[in-house]
Copies of this chain bind each other. A is one copy, B any other.
Amino acid sequence: MTSAMNPKITKVTSHISHNEALIFERSQPGRIGYKLPPLDVDESPLDQIIPLEFRRDDDLEGVPEVSEVDVIRHFTRMSTWNYSIDLGMYPLGSCTMKYNSRLNEKVARIPGFAALHPLSEERDAQGALQVIYELQNHLAEITGLAGVSLQPAAGAHGEMTGVMIIRAFIDARDGAGASAKRRTMLIPDSAHGTNPASAHLSGFSVKTIRSTAEGFTDLDHLRELCAHGDVAGLMLTNPNTLGLFEKNIKEICQIVHEAGGLVYMDGANMNALVGIARPGDMGVDVIHLNLHKTFSTPHGGGGPGCGPCCCTKELEPFLPVPRIVKNGQEYKLDFNHPQSIGRVKAFFGNYGMMLRALSYIQTHGHDGIREATEAAVLNSRYIAHGLASDYDKPFAAPSMHEVVFTDKRQSRKGVHTLDIAKRLMDYGFHPMTIYFPLIVQGAMLIEPTESVGHQELDQFIEAMKAIAREALEDPELVLNAPHSTRIGRLDEAAAARRPVLRWKPKQAATAG
């Protein structure tokens, strides 16, 4: 029954895992986890400082009371329930779950950066500004796009920024209000959900471009949609979310440009391109990068990220302010950009991620970042090759850094992508991205990244093959997976129907 006894399962065994209640359930009145230095100034009566009516009167009801030991055990135990990159391959497609180096973490914690206030005077923060400036330059070189702002806090934020830049540019080019007429943003049906959401946030209406059966942007459809004179731009992911390089990218850009639009590239998949090809050389006007993907800043259970926006010289005046510039030997904040779309975030963005990304670039060197790209694509291609005989691969074109398969063959036995994903957990793997891109039925998007050795790739391939056999021979086993995790499949539908989104003290408990 334990996976240890299943000879096919080589990556995991079952073992005890500690339970842990909510902290509110652990809390006990009177427990203390902190100590401050004693107040060393003359005290005033509180009422003199802040009148009673402005103060809380609920004694912070419900806020827990625990000791430091409680805190440590609480979080240590909970942490052990997570899968993580440090435990193994994490092939979430589109997320680039690569190794997060300890060196980068150390750099981000250097007190001269970590204790620096964002409103410090420029002369008090020259080193910090230099970091931003150098990273901007490196990203410009990597993307082939001269203008860079590191202000956006994540990919979607970078998208919003980029799309707003397109809008501001059109107004500048065609006259104020012009963008109100060019209201169409073209987005492939395979795009990530943030693309249309960001376009919408910037006041565009979204038109969807079909993908071809081969998995590429349908040029005819693109031409058709570009024919109405209302196209502000195109948001294209490249390699696209199917893991395929849009080989017609140059032509695509040309079509959009000729229609008076601009090309936004979603750079989430840059791990396939760094050092190999540059969006700026393809005709792309503006792009965002995900430093938390390609440049290895930790995903942190859902952030923080950093979504720099890079654009052509032409679009540079529209980037958010302040821009960080170098004036002789001095680094400065430059607010003087009247055409800027404005600020997208207080201060300068997620600075700690910039430190890590710069450290990543310096650690790899120009040859190392290219090597990483090659290794990432190779790993993906190796999986594509290894699984081709067991799973349906809907597109023939060679995959770049990630590869999509479907559940087509397995679904004949009633085994679907979700089931395969859950069963992978029993084999010790984090599942791939599932049901994305939406245009592929039962999609399984697998991105191994460069951070996996060939033995673990082989284990993964073996696991997937074993599941394919199980789907045939013992579908129930797969349908009821996972079998070895501390909790089974959760009833998400019930959770959404009557959402319980916070803990509340039990009324009865106080009475009893």
Give complex CA distance A19, B10 in Å.
Answer: 7
If A67-B453, A87-B76 touch, whether A19 touches B14 (CB-CB below 8 Å) is: no
Give complex CA distance A3, B69 in Å.
Answer: 26
If A76-B86, A77-B87 touch, whether A16 touches B70 (CB-CB below 8 Å) is: no
A476 in the interface (beta carbon within 8 A): no
Interface flags, A53-76, vs B, CB<8A=1, else 0:
000000000000001111011001
Which one of B10, B87, B99 contacts A68 once the chains associate, using CB atoms below 8 Å? B99
A260 in the interface (beta carbon within 8 A): no
Contacts of A13 in B (CB 8 A): 16-17, 19, 486-487
| Pair B485/A428 contact, Cβ less than 8 Å | no
Which one of B16, B31, B67, B68 contacts A14 once the chains associate, using CB atoms below 8 Å? B16
A88 in the interface (beta carbon within 8 A): yes
| Pair A11/B19 contact, Cβ less than 8 Å | yes
If A69-B451, A86-B73 touch, whether A17 touches B28 (CB-CB below 8 Å) is: no
Contacts of A487 in B (CB 8 A): 13
Give complex CA distance A99, B70 in Å.
Answer: 10
A126 in the interface (beta carbon within 8 A): no
| A 301-318 contacts with B by CB, 8 A | none
| A 477-505 contacts with B by CB, 8 A | 484-487
| Pair A18/B484 contact, Cβ less than 8 Å | no
Give complex CA distance A37, B426 in Å.
Answer: 43
A81 in the interface (beta carbon within 8 A): yes
CB distance from A426 to the nearest CB of B (A): 7
A259 in the interface (beta carbon within 8 A): no
| Pair B14/A453 contact, Cβ less than 8 Å | no
- The residue of chain B having its C-beta at the shortest distance from the C-beta of A453 within the complex is B70
If A28-B453, A453-B28 touch, whether A14 touches B73 (CB-CB below 8 Å) is: no
A1 in the interface (beta carbon within 8 A): yes
A114 in the interface (beta carbon within 8 A): no
| Pair B14/A486 contact, Cβ less than 8 Å | yes
CB distance from A456 to the nearest CB of B (A): 8
- The residue of chain B having its C-beta at the shortest distance from the C-beta of A365 within the complex is B35
Interface flags, A68-101, vs B, CB<8A=1, else 0:
1110110011001100101110000000000101
A455 in the interface (beta carbon within 8 A): yes
- The residue of chain B having its C-beta at the shortest distance from the C-beta of A25 within the complex is B455
| Pair B72/A88 contact, Cβ less than 8 Å | no
A412 in the interface (beta carbon within 8 A): no
| Pair A87/B102 contact, Cβ less than 8 Å | no
If A86-B73, A99-B72 touch, whether A18 touches B14 (CB-CB below 8 Å) is: no
Interface flags, A1-32, vs B, CB<8A=1, else 0:
11110000011111111110000001010010
Contacts of A102 in B (CB 8 A): 72
17 interchain pairs, CB-CB under 8 A: A4-B486, A10-B19, A12-B16, A12-B17, A13-B486, A14-B14, A14-B486, A15-B16, A15-B80, A16-B426, A18-B88, A18-B428, A19-B428, A67-B453, A69-B453, A70-B453, A80-B87
Closest 3 CB pairs of A and B: A15-B17, A15-B486, A12-B16
